[in-house]
Structure 1
Amino acid sequence: MYRVWNFVLNYSILLILGALIALVWANIDMEGYHHFAETPLWFNDIVGAKYDHWFHAYGHGAEKYDHGGAERVLSLHYLVNDLLMAFFFAIAAKEVWEAIILKNGALRGKKAATPLFATAGGMIGPIAIYLGLAFFLGSDVYDAVARGWAIPTATDIAFSYLVGRIVFGAGHPAVRFLLLLAIADDAAGLIILAIFYPEGDLAPIWLLLSVFSAVGVFVLFNWLPRRMDRGNQVRPNSTWVRNKLSFWPYLFAGALSWYGFQESGLHPALGLLPIVPTLPHADRAFGIFAEAEQYLTDLLNHSEHLLKHPVEVILFFFGLMNAGVAFSSISEPTWLVLAGLLIGKPLGVLAMGYLAAYPLKLGLPVGMKSSDLFVIGCVAAIGFTVSLFIASVAFPVGAVQDAAKMGALLSFFAAIMAIVAGKILKVEKQELS
């Protein structure tokens, strides 16, 4: 089940490289960095951030641009965070969809029960620590940071997988448990982003465009060809649609759905989510990173394969656009995010995982010990990508956002904590035989 090792390495290297460049740049020339990130590519009335929001984010010098009365600005930052990151979330949604819908899906049946409980603990724990400490620090701090409660709930699936292999070994059942937890965490994170972090005033009527796009492309290019091929093993209509049209109808529907999300006030980076379930998919999945997954040729997996390398590049620019914070910005939100991840995540995973495994008698995978739950929680405390993304939408541009982003970046220390915890708790590494 360990597909795309190169993807994880490339993902890690490019994302970290972008983040490091941003950190160095911002601490040398903060204004220059922000001006680069908010470079206006197109003043228009169709796509981009609201002009007033962009004007504030750009800061000094924004007045030199003649926007001609345009209502929106397509900046470099918006292009990466709100448009291109939609492909990253589409890949995450693909894994979640297969884990839920397929007969052998990882999040179906009793085998997923304990990881799902652990996932819930890995979200409740960080929220409780984050908000509890903020409340303890006083009403002024609490009011300033409360909106960021979801930042420490995230788990970076690729980095966690990488560290999980180092701590447990590739063949340890805890690695699969960790992946199930991370997939479920992704699903919860997508829901949280959609419900609690709208990008503007809500206009739900625009979501009908997303609904009609998803239903239309599914009926015309998925259900109808299969319906016409009933009883014919050659499947000429489905084959013609696949060979001649490929993913293009779904890409067009995705563009409409994305626009519907932008206009509805929901974060447009989630705009492809309604389209992912409409793509024809295999009747089974081998699980994220499973080597056999690369041999599945259904359109859903084919589209993921096509997106793999572009998304690696997108994540480089995501790190570049979002990790540029000054070290001087470290303050209360930084420590709250870190406490939520480094304390709340391991304790939450351990508490809820133990509750499910023993009092509720759902059990643990063969070869796992209860102490492994704590180590898994330490590994899952690496929030990085999604934590950084949530921080960028939870707070307006400014000191609080920068401090929260620094907490997301420093969550890399969870990797060291996980390795140390593994040594102390005497985790027995198991390699693939």
Structure 2
Amino acid sequence: MTTAQSASAHFPDSQVDVVLDLRQWPTPTDGQEALVTLWQQLEPGLYAKPLAAGALHVWESDAGRITVEIVRVDAQSRWAAEDTRFAIAAVRQQSALVYRCATCDRAGRSGYGSFRCRSCGDAGRPDRMCVDHAVVLDGSLLPSCPDHRPSCRGCSRTAVFWCAGRDCRTSVAWCEQHRKRHPQDPDTDYCPDCYRRAFPVCEEPGCSAVGTAECDWLDTAGHTCGRPACTRHARRWQVFGYERVGIGLCRAHSQVRSLSADEILWQICGTAGRRQGQRMPSLAAFGHNLRNAGHRELALDHHSIRARLTALHARMRSSGTSPALRAVERAAGDWDRQVKERIGTVEQGEVLVARLRAIVRELDYRFGAEIADGLTLAEYKPARPPASGGDLWIRVPEHLTGKFIGPQGSRIKEYKARLGMEIKLEDGRRRTSR
């Protein structure tokens, strides 16, 4: 839109100032002479009409439309007449189009090409589009011209939206028949495959809830099972402690007590390696999980656990399981240090068991010798400073357990007092504290 020079410089005693709106008048009106000629044709149409600031007077014809807006009127001028002096204060006109719409041009019309088609640009065509001819699908502001409107990936129909799913990433178009709307966000749409990945149905028979938890079970190549479960039916194997999310398991992989020791170590190491920020468990934590799965003897043998982890590392290197491989390699130094610490702890435990044998012989004159000969170390857990003592886990022959404990726990209480620490029994099936 351009503004013409004020005509009041030629008519300083004008009675009425007007703004001439030619934006819908296609005939060029450039220069003062053309403007005066046009006004001479328009002015008679105002005669005998009331004059008021803000009033609009419109002339329409097949050629177009012209609007005159009255912006100032003398107090004495109420009606327009042949002797009324008018001044054109401004002219509103369409600006020259910098970018023209190619589709409008082909139809003999004029439209401002504010959009560019990426496909046209890739083909070396400088064509542009106006707002009426630009094709913008739901899900992205990427415009296309009518010739390059995207087709549906699934059936070649005319596409109406870009899929926001993880695989399509708003770069694949789909038709209305393939649209799956987000459950809560009406502005986000998916193709059927991306919708199933984003909102999988729980694997539990008869449950239609969204499966937000996936089975983390790993095959030998390191690929996860991926079966989904909702929060109500999800199963978690708490191998990393209760403060961290455990390994998700589907129904088919939930029987962890039947797993071999090597399978348990692989599932824990493989899952920890896939998770960002998840540290590898300590040897003691591995032992805890092995004990819960029935591998009680191995659970106490940190040296053997470390040897199995070394063998697992070698298998990972041969198969190229890179995320878990790097995580195992980072943890190797800590595991080696824990083995050395364990050796020292076992030696301390054996000393404490020898003292306990002597105490049992001293306090139980009837069965003390037999009990003492059957006592063996299961595990010694030193107390963390500044606490003192610790926990001494021992094994007692099953037929002597009651005699070791004594009536209402009287014997074991004496042994604890004399030894100065907790004494706990491991019976091969479970751990008990008296």
Q: TM-score, normalised by structure 1?
A: 0.21
Higher RCO (C-alpha 8 Å, min separation 6): 1
The structure with the greater share of residues assigned to strand is: 2
Q: TM-score, normalised by structure 2?
A: 0.21
Q: Radius of gyration: which is bigger?
A: 2
